[in-house]
């Protein structure tokens, strides 16, 4: 990151002030992240200095959060060809929520929702290496669980059906790819390495290594003999394999 910052300054001298404030003076990723988050989220009720102390307290003391954030940064760099930056915050607020510091966690989460247009409930459990591609208009419910190396596009809702309480949200296996404008509702399971097509509405379990698409979503290849994926779509970011073979339409 520091090498890239210096290279950016050489290409665009006008970026020197930004790089010297946000990246170059920091001796660790967690310090740079805490500074970046505090600048983005601060307002009159949440001063930057207060946010830095909160984020450094959790990022500096919790090795699991630090590892997860580094995995997220790598995921962003490896899977998103247009990658410019990434701003994590849920892991810190989730820890505050789990510690019973709910008022503070809600205050920060409210700022995150307002600034980034993302609403991830503080109780949601999220693994490592998560990519929120374009990172806007994403909603994740309280009892949702997202395992490692999952990629989620913009305008995705991972919610409940509105009919039950308690454990009411989906469980997503590792390596899943979820296309843009998708709704996955209810306490269902999306199997490891599955792919959800763009604009789908998913209301039932999706087996591992299969593709579900449509409204309501159906398995590509059929319910009894679905086509199995060879690769992990959450890593390859391949949105179209098998879908084009399945859909027969004319424009």
Average pLDDT over residues 143-165: 92
State residue 111's pLDDT score: 86
Note the residue count of the chain.
Answer: 251
> Per-residue pLDDT for 85 more than 50?
no
Q: From CA 35, how far away is CA 52, in angstroms rounded? A: 6
> Per-residue pLDDT for 136 more than 90?
no
Q: Which has more confidence, 185 or 223?
A: 185
Q: What is the DSSP string of 155-184?
A: S-EEE--SS--SS-S-EE-TT-EE-TT-EE
State residue 6's pLDDT score: 81
Query: Among 201, 73, 90, 203, which Cα is nearest to 142's?
Result: 90
State residue 202's pLDDT score: 97
> Per-residue pLDDT for 84 more than 50?
no
Q: Three-class SS of residue 126?
A: strand
0.85 exceeded by pTM:
no
Q: Three-class SS of residue 149?
A: coil
| Segment 207-237, tens digit of pLDDT | 999 999 999 999 998 888 898 998 999 999 9
């Amino acid at each position: 990151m520091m090498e890239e910052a210096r290279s950016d300054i050489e290409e665009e001298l006008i970026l020197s002030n930004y790089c010297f404030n946000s990246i170059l003076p920091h001796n660790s990723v967690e310090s740079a992240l805490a500074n970046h988050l505090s600048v983005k989220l601060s307002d009159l009720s949440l001063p930057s200095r207060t946010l830095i102390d909160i984020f450094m307290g959790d990022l500096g003391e919790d090795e699991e959060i630090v590892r997860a954030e580094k995995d997220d940064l790598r995921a962003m760099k490896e899977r998103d060809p247009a990658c410019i930056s990434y701003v994590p915050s849920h892991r810190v607020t989730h820890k505050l929520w789990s510690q019973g510091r709910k008022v503070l966690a809600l205050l920060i989460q409210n700022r995150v929702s307002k600034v980034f247009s993302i609403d991830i409930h503080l109780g949601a459990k999220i693994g490592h290496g998560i990519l929120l591609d374009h990172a806007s208009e994403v909603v994740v419910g309280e009892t949702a669980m997202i395992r490692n190396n999952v990629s989620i596009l913009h305008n995705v809702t991972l919610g409940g059906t509105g009919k039950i309480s308690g454990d009411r949200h989906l469980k997503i296996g590792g390596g899943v790819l979820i296309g843009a404008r998708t709704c996955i509702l209810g306490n269902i399971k999306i199997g490891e390495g599955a792919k959800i097509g763009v604009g789908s509405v998913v209301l039932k379990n999706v087996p591992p290594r299969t593709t579900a698409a449509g409204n309501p979503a159906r398995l590509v290849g059929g319910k009894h003999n679905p086509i199995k994926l060879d690769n992990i779509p959450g890593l390859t970011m391949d949105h179209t394999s098998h879908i084009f073979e399945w859909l027969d339409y004319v424009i």
